[in-house]
Amino acid sequence: MVITKKVRTFQTVFTYLVLLSFAVYCLFPFLWMLDTALKPPVEVMVAKPTFLIKAPTLANFRHVLVDSAFMTYFRNSIIVAVFTTLLTVTLGVFASYALSRWSQLKLTKAVSGALLVSQMIPGVLLLVPLYILMRNLGLLSTYAALIIVYCTFMVPLVIFMLKGFFDGIPRELEEAADVDGCSRLGYIFRILIPVSIPGILATSVFAFIAAWNEFMFGYVLINDDARRTLTPGILIFKGAHQTDWASLTAASVMAVLPVAIGFIFLQRYLVEGLSAGAVKG
Amino acid sequence: MTTMNTPLTKDKAETGRSSKIKRHPAWTALLFFLPVILLLVLLIAWPLLSVLLQGFQYVSLVDPLAGGFAGLDNFRFVFEDEGFLPALWNTFVWTGLSVSGEYILGLVSALALFQPVKGRAIFRGIIVIPWVIPIVVAGLNWIWLLNPDYGIINSWLVDIGWLEQKRDWVGSIDTSLLTVTFVNIWRSFPFYTIALLAALMAVPKDLHEAAALDGAGAVRRFWVITMPELKAVSTVLIVVHIISTAINFDFIWVMTQGGPLNASETLPIMIYKYAMQDFDIGAASALASMTMSILAVGFIIYFYSLKRRRGN
């Protein structure tokens, strides 16, 4: 090759330097969050903070779990995220099957266009009418309000992700199933879904993370502490005047945990699925 | 219905079979789409229409007696609001700086991850982390890192002599918007990394090898081969993120609520305050319509220039 060994060594060292800087840049805030969460409050409020913890403690976590509404928020977030995921992926499977199977129909093209356009319409601009709609339906401060809204804003992307997987399944599979007397629903449930499980799983994790992380609608549509989800809940932790940073970081660590586990579990699928979606736009 | 019947026969001819459902694919398709269509109509199309209409009406969230046609009153009200022009300017600054910063970091990290070194997968995993966590957690955690009394970053900056004394980054008029922008870049750039990395992997290897044999250096190869290949992905990335950044509510609300003294207020924050603090739905809808129009005009210019470039 043209490149000499010396140049290559320099390139490798330089690459590692860049990657290491990025790793520090991305990880450092989390390490500091974890570090603060494990410190007793006297060590948190100091003018010269260090990573060193003199008396590591889990008291902050216990304080958050026992003395605050954290568990309620956490449970609400789980409920909302799980049902959003189930609903979105169920609707998404049928819609993207139809998109993939009958791509020539005018109806399909119209729906596909509508999905693309609605993906571009920002939620914050619809905040007011959606608030009024939910108030008129009597759904303010209910799980249903959040589940329906999250599903609407997520379903276009979920459909396009699933369609990517369904497009890869050969048409002959369905024809063979039809010859064997398998109905369309039978084909979807017995063949299409089992064959695309990795894709459906990746899409589900994506939907779950998006629902878990959403803030604005949770903040506006829920006014009852018993129904509040975690992201607005954590903001409330930050009192108006004096913030208890030890508790706040402990709550943050626990709020990130489900997302982190889901992400590590399916990192590869997610990265591939997202980049496929991103390239397509 | 005639429009739906034409492709129907075509589909039948394609497969050459005529089981009961296959004779009516349009109806089956409609059935499969129905829930999604209902959601889009009820929660996107209809609210969109009502925003456009309510901009021309007197509507209050708390006073049911307020009502009637307002003409352009709401729009005049927004224009005459002292906060409007600064908020518009802030929206441009916030969007422009965020998207350029994100793109530069995304490109550099993608190029680094593309190099054939060991442990790439681990670094890729680490770099994606900020993008996966909730904005609330990211925002609050950075407020803590930048805390003027106990924050570690202030303490370090003073120690190495970059700062004479600790600063209140989030809470000062001259730094609040820039600080939130910095945190937004930190959280959003990994998406660019993933997308650009995927595009880099799609560049044919022999193109690079051929150019290298012809004596093109790494820098020259980057500008002549890599960048043109990334152009399509980059355009999509940037356009999509200009929209999503301009209308982002979460980051600024979580970190500053538009303060101090509206120093970090953008249009979405203003919409929220009109609606949920002043209960003035008319003004909120007028401002939302204007924001949408600005975005739409930007879009049209983008598509027009794209078309013209293709035409040439």
- Per-residue pLDDT at B20 exceeds 70: no
- Across residues B237-249, what is the average pLDDT? 89
Contact A22 B112 (CB under 8 A): yes
- Across residues B281-288, what is the average pLDDT? 91
Pick from A260-264, B48-52, B215-219 the range whose average pLDDT is largest.
Answer: B48-52
- Across residues A214-234, what is the average pLDDT? 93
Helices marked H in chain B: 2-15, 25-40, 46-54, 73-80, 84-114, 120-132, 135-145, 152-159, 176-202, 205-213, 218-221, 227-246, 250-255, 267-276, 281-311
Instruction: Using only the alpha carbons of chain B, give its radius of gyration.
Output: 26
Mean pLDDT of chain B, nearest integer: 85
Q: Which residue of A has its CA nearest to B241?
A: A120
For residues A255 and B139, what is the distance between their CA atoms, to the nearest angstrom? 14
- Per-residue pLDDT at A269 exceeds 70: no
CA-closest candidate to residue A58, choices A246, A277, A265: A246
**Residue A10 buriedness (CB in 10 A; 0-12 / 13-18 / 19+):** exposed
- pLDDT of B204: 79
- Per-residue pLDDT at A38 exceeds 50: yes
**Which amino acid, residue B249?**
F
Is B113's Cβ below 8 Å from some Cβ in A? Answer: yes
Q: Which residue of A has its CA nearest to B115?
A: A15
Higher pLDDT, B68 or A98: A98
A70, A73, A124, A159: which to substitute to probe chain B, counting the most B Cβ within 10 Å? A124
For residues B114 and B195, what is the distance between their CA atoms, to the nearest angstrom? 12
- pLDDT of B22: 52
Contact B233 A278 (CB under 8 A): yes
DSSP character string of B19-81: -TGGG-HHHHHHHHHHHHHHHHIIIIIHHHHHHHHHTTB--BSS-TT--SB-TTHHHHHHHH-
Strand partners, B60: B280
Shortest distance, CA A240 to any CA of chain B (angstroms): 12
Instruction: Select the residue of A18, A148, A249 nearest B108 (Cβ to Cβ).
Output: A18
- pLDDT of B98: 97
Within 64-103 of B, beta carbons closer than 8 Å to A belong to: none
For residues B163 and B275, what is the distance between their CA atoms, to the nearest angstrom? 40
| pLDDT tens profile B73-112 | 889 998 998 999 999 999 999 999 999 999 999 999 999 9
Chain A residues with beta carbon closer than 8 angstroms to that of B8: 105
Chain B residues with beta carbon closer than 8 angstroms to that of A48: 155
Contact B150 A22 (CB under 8 A): no
| pLDDT tens profile A229-238 | 999 998 887 7
Is B257's Cβ below 8 Å from some Cβ in A? Answer: no
What is the CA B152 to chain-centroid distance, rounded?
30
pLDDT band of residue A272 (cuts 50, 70, 90) is: low
Contact B33 A129 (CB under 8 A): no
- pLDDT of A95: 94
Shortest distance, CA B25 to any CA of chain A (angstroms): 7
Could you tell me the CA-to-CA distances from B217 to A3, A18, B262 in Å, in that order?
10, 20, 50
Contact B19 A279 (CB under 8 A): no
Answer whether B272's CB lies under 8 Å from A131's CB: no
- pLDDT of A277: 47
Shortest distance, CA B32 to any CA of chain A (angstroms): 5
Q: What ipTM score was computed for the predicted complex, to two decimals?
A: 0.85
pLDDT band of residue A56 (cuts 50, 70, 90) is: confident
- Per-residue pLDDT at A239 exceeds 70: no
Cβ neighbours of residue A57 under 8 Å, at least 6 residues apart? Answer: A38, A39, A40
Answer whether B245's CB lies under 8 Å from B135's CB: no
Answer whether B249's CB lies under 8 Å from B265's CB: no
- Per-residue pLDDT at B158 exceeds 50: yes
| pLDDT tens profile A149-165 | 999 999 999 998 898 88
Q: Which residue of B has its CA nearest to A92?
A: B36
- pLDDT of B285: 92
Q: What is the pTM of this model?
A: 0.85
Is B183's Cβ below 8 Å from some Cβ in A? Answer: no
Instruction: Select the residue of A2, A155, A230 nearest B213 (Cβ to Cβ).
Output: A2
- Per-residue pLDDT at A280 exceeds 70: no
Contact B212 A3 (CB under 8 A): yes
| pLDDT tens profile A105-142 | 889 999 999 998 888 888 888 998 999 999 999 999 99
- Count of CB contacts below 8 A, A vs B? 273
- pLDDT of A265: 67
Instruction: Select the residue of B39, B212, B276 nearest A220 (Cβ to Cβ).
Output: B276
- pLDDT of B6: 42
Token look-up 């939907």 returns A207
Shortest distance, CA B256 to any CA of chain A (angstroms): 12
Q: Which residue of A has its CA nearest to B53?
A: A129
Chain B residues with beta carbon closer than 8 angstroms to that of A281: 236, 240
Shortest distance, CA A21 to any CA of chain B (angstroms): 10
Chain A residues with beta carbon closer than 8 angstroms to that of B21: 183-184
